[in-house]
Amino acid sequence: MMYPHLLVLATLWGGRLGAQVPNLLPNPSFELVEPPAPTAQHMMPLETPAELWRPRTWDAWPEGGAVLTLPDDSAQAHSGRRCVHLAAEQGLARVRYQPMAVPAQQTWTVRAWMRGKGKVRADAWDVSGDPWKQIGIRPLELSEAWTEVGCELQLPEGCRKWALDLITEGPTEAWIDDVLVTYPGLQALGLPPTGPLSKDEHTLLYLPFEEPLNEDAFFVKPQADLVAEGLFGKALWLGPEGYVACSANENLNPQQGTIEVWCKLLSPGNDNIAHGIVSVPGPEGMWLGKDQYSHIHFGFSSGWGRLSGTTAMGYSWNWQPGVWRHLAACWDKDLLQLFVDGKLIGWERNPKLSRSLGPELSIGSAGMELDDLRVSDVVRYRQAVPKD
């Protein structure tokens, strides 16, 4: 089954289509969707009605009898095919985006296109510590026609990460689309990519998996093969005994670089199995993947101990199998960052980096498919984060 993966990137500002404003959100129009999470009792069937799918990079849920859907209907959306529909006679429904890194004290702008009746609030939360602290509540009035509404937020000193809730207040029916979160100086990230990548002078390894791997440069065990239905043409499939590796010394710079790849797990994110996506095995190693606790991790090790890295705790717990996801890991002496589907999910400032790694670069592991893998010797993506 094919899954939508292309984003609507145009931003509507001030009621007119103007110059694109950089948007922190990689899925502002809710076009990037996936099936609901698996449950403890059974796997949710992939034939789940389209309106019950969930927006990638967002958290979305109803409470107390409210209803939250994503209509797959361009007639209901402000742009594209999707939007969020919240209906709450009782209880409430919300969509949440978090965490967002706060690089400096500045004014943030939140805008969205909405229509309906009732009221939606924009709630801001300081998620730097535990428990969270509510730092702003802004009511947004609805009208029958699509209208751009929004507010500005000044985050408190010391806030390093914050979350945005768009939440119903009282009896409400609302359609929400084209959400913008920005601040002065924000740079567009360009993730996830909307098409195949390409090679340039900074590319150490590029594998679109359209042709069989060169046996002189790659070690390939049986049950690692190309399949026809990748994201962009063919893809690499790895079965239970599948294994692919090449030279780490030739294809990875431990001092600075970028790894980017599309990955499709063939089991749920809470399968209690570690899945290495790109790694260097051994005591002087590197690992990018999902561990047995559903954490997404990227980092370097030395003498089997952690050297540097970042971990998004439980991030893949709700992942369904069979969904293409984009991962990008970037590092240099100043900053290490990890992105999934264009969302920054972790970082470390001033990371300790290996001067040399083990000899083998492992590509994928059992129970997944990969497409469009590129390893570079430069940082291709960077998002501003707090200085301390």
Confidence category of residue 47, pLDDT binned at 50, 70, 90 = confident
Q: Is 355's pLDDT higher than 80?
A: yes
Preceding peptide of 268 cis, ω within 30°: no
**Which of 54-58, 104-108, 288-292 has the least mean pLDDT?**
104-108
Q: Is 44's pLDDT higher than 60?
A: no
Q: Please identify, among 126, 148, 182, the residue that sits at the C-terminal boundary of a domain.
A: 182
Confidence category of residue 48, pLDDT binned at 50, 70, 90 = confident
**How many independent structural domains does the chain possess?**
2
H or E segment to which residue 103 belongs: none
Average pLDDT of the segment spanning 152-168: 95
Average pLDDT of the segment spanning 346-355: 95
DSSP SS3 for 51:
helix
DSSP-H helix ranges across the chain: 248-251
Q: Note whether residue 28 is domain-resident.
A: no
State the pLDDT at residue 170.
94
55: domain CATH number is 2.60.120.260
Q: Is 50's pLDDT higher than 50?
A: yes
Q: Is 11's pLDDT higher than 80?
A: no
Task: Say whether both 128 and 223 belong to one domain.
Answer: no
State the pLDDT at residue 126.
96
Confidence category of residue 37, pLDDT binned at 50, 70, 90 = confident
pLDDT for 291-327, tens place per residue?
Answer: 999 999 999 999 989 999 999 999 999 999 999 999 9
CA-based angle 279:281:235, to the nearest 5?
A: 35
State the pLDDT at residue 378.
98
Q: Is 113's pLDDT higher than 90?
A: yes
323: domain CATH number is 2.60.120.200
Preceding peptide of 131 cis, ω within 30°: yes
Q: Note whether residue 141 is domain-resident.
A: yes
Q: Note whether residue 385 is domain-resident.
A: no
Confidence category of residue 141, pLDDT binned at 50, 70, 90 = confident
User: Which tokens in the block code for residue 380?
Assistant: 């291709």
State the pLDDT at residue 2.
33
Task: Say whether both 108 and 254 belong to one domain.
Answer: no
Preceding peptide of 192 cis, ω within 30°: yes
The neighbouring-strand residues paired with 304 are none
Task: Say whether both 243 and 165 belong to one domain.
Answer: no
Other Cβ atoms within 10 Å of 199 Cβ, number: 12
Q: Is 6's pLDDT higher than 50?
A: no
Q: What is the domain range of residue 169?
A: 33-182
Other Cβ atoms within 10 Å of 215 Cβ, number: 8
pTM of this structure: 0.91
State the pLDDT at residue 15.
35
Task: Say whether both 166 and 220 belong to one domain.
Answer: no
Mean pLDDT of the chain: 91
Residue type, 28: P
Q: Note whether residue 13 is domain-resident.
A: no
H or E segment to which residue 94 belongs: strand 92-101
CB 116 within 8 A of CB 175: yes
**Which of 7-16, 68-77, 107-116 has the least mean pLDDT?**
7-16
Q: Is 5's pLDDT higher than 50?
A: no
Average pLDDT of the segment spanning 236-246: 95
% of the chain residues with pLDDT over 90: 87
Task: Say whether both 223 and 365 belong to one domain.
Answer: yes
pLDDT for 182-212, tens place per residue?
Answer: 999 999 999 999 999 999 999 999 999 999 9
Q: Note whether residue 232 is domain-resident.
A: yes
